[in-house]
């Protein structure tokens, strides 16, 4: 059975959502790993930063972790530089900028204090551009709308099914 990576770009509500998704994956007998991009503390990407200091070891480790997995749930708030910054470093830490996500199966999730839908649309465009295959089902929670555990379990099962060899 393949392992699912849960990439989280938040230290608060989206982190809680990522942890809940891992818990639900475990209930479904699916191995999952939460990778909190905030914890990596990557420097802000720029060509100047890369020329001065090279690619950080944490970016290389992240890229290798992503390369080793076939399926992901990306969990991020609407306005988030952490996700974009991690993606920029990952694209520089691989041989070709699309390597990390090309042909990967990706589900999208967010907890939003606003609407959340625009953030999911932006993530969909970004990861499609990187070559990922994005699930039609998305998970959107707000303070008023809790996670549908049934929908989350269906997403997890789809990720497993579609990422099998």
Domain with residue 113: its CATH number is: 3.40.50.360
Number of domains forming the structure of the chain: 1
Percent share of the chain, pLDDT over 90: 90
| Range(s) of the domain holding residue 61 | 4-162
Please enumerate in sequence order all residues whose Cβ is within 8 A of that of 72, keeping only pairs 6 or more positions apart, or say none. Answer: 4, 5, 6, 7, 66, 104, 105, 106, 107, 132, 159
Per-residue pLDDT tens for 82-124? 999 999 999 999 999 899 999 999 999 999 988 889 999 999 9
Percent share of the chain, pLDDT over 70: 99
């Amino acid at each position: 059975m393949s392992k699912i990576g849960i990439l989280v770009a938040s230290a608060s509500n989206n982190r809680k959502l990522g942890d809940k998704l891992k818990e639900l994956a475990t209930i479904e007998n699916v191995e999952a790993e939460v990778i909190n991009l905030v914890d990596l503390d990557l420097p802000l990407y720029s060509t100047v930063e890369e020329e001065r200091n090279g690619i950080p070891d944490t970016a290389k480790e992240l890229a290798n972790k992503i390369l080793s997995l076939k399926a992901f749930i990306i969990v991020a708030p609407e306005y988030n530089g952490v996700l974009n910054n991690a993606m920029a470093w990952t694209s520089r830490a691989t041989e070709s900028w699309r390597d990390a996500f090309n042909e990967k199966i990706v589900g999208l999730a967010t907890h939003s204090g606003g609407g959340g839908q625009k953030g999911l649309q932006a993530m969909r465009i970004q990861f499609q551009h990187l070559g990922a295959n994005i699930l039609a089902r998305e998970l959107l929670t707000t303070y008023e709308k809790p996670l549908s555990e049934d929908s989350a379990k269906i997403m997890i099962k789809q990720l497993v099914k579609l990422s099998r060899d």
